[in-house]
């Protein structure tokens, strides 16, 4: 995954022990699920393994509805692997072609 360093804009608020524990479990579960989505996408599209790319969850706006029906889950050097959950399909996306 790409590492982004955030600077808090306000004072941070420490969670109580029960909430901290729950947030830790949720965080680990989300990472596990994203890795699984990336592996399925890479396998389906014949892309290099997810370990060779950044795993992420980036919604892609739909041109037809203005909403979100697809997410980028895998970003490689030249192409991204995405999942359209409305159609139940994986597809490749090249963000560089979209900029032109």
pLDDT digits (tens, 9 = 90+) for 53-93: 899 999 988 776 667 889 999 998 888 999 999 899 999 98
Give me the half-sphere count of Cα atoms (radius 13 Å) on the Cβ side of residue 56. 16
Average pLDDT over residues 13-42: 96
Q: Does any domain span residue 2?
A: no
pLDDT higher than 90, residue 96: no
Exposed, middle or buried by CB within 10 Å (0-12, 13-18, 19+), for 84?
Answer: middle
Q: For the chain, percent helix, then strand, then coil, each to nearest 5?
A: 35, 25, 40
The set of residues, in sequence order, having a beta carbon less than 8 Å from that of 47 and lying 6+ positions away, is 41, 53, 74, 76, 79, 81, 92
Q: Does pLDDT of 3 surpass 60?
A: no
Distances (CA, A) of 95 to 3, 18, 19, 47: 20, 41, 38, 16
What is the domain count for the chain?
1
Could you tell me if residue 10 is inside a domain?
A: no
Q: Which domain holds residue 76?
A: 17-98
**Is 47 inside any structural domain?**
yes
């Amino acid at each position: 995954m790409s590492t982004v360093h955030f600077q808090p804009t306000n004072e941070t608020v420490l969670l109580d022990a029960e909430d901290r524990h729950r947030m830790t479990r949720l965080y680990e579960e989300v990472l596990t699920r994203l890795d699984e989505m990336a592996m399925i996408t890479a396998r389906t599209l014949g892309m290099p393994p997810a370990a060779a790319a950044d795993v992420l969850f980036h919604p892609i706006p739909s041109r037809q509805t203005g909403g979100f029906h697809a997410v980028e889950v895998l970003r490689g050097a030249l192409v991204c692997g995405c999942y359209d959950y409305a159609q139940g399909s994986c597809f490749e996306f090249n963000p560089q072609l979209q900029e032109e």
